[in-house]
Amino acid sequence: QVQLVESGGELVQAGGSLRLSCAASGGIFINYAMGWFRQAPGKEREFVSAISRLGSYTYYADSVKGRFTISRDNAKNTVYLQMNRLKPEDTAVYYCAADLRFSHDASREESAYDYWGQGTQVTVSS
């Protein structure tokens, strides 16, 4: 059983920055591709970013490309999402997820992920 715990979400002004963290336990972190997804009020959950097991491949939604950066520290069993130049439309609950398929790549698809965290709220004020 893999446990994922997100942190770092808070209220921030537009143009500001936040770094989200997702700490994993209960498994072999280096075996998992990791993803970040978000869900805004009244909307479906959507892909934000993903990173492969060794960090060789990273992917971003078009809406965050150039503003967000995903990274991971396999020694700390943690994946990060650095979010810069935040916009009010970035307001959402952000979830991290683990893909246990032991692939060299990472997926944009929710269905590829086996474990999910509880989420952390990011609110961007205008």
Give every CB contact of residue 92 below 8 A, 6+ residues apart in sequence.
38, 39, 40, 41, 43, 121, 122
Residue 104 is predicted with a pLDDT of 85
Of 121, 103, 104, 117, give the one whose Cα is nearest residue 23.
Answer: 117
What confidence score (pLDDT) does residue 112 get? 96
Per residue in 42-78, pLDDT (tens digit) is 999 999 999 999 999 999 999 999 999 999 999 999 9
Q: Report the pLDDT averaged over residues 108-125.
A: 97
Average pLDDT value for residue range 4-14: 98
> Is 3 or 104 the better-scoring residue by pLDDT?
3
pLDDT value, residue 123: 98
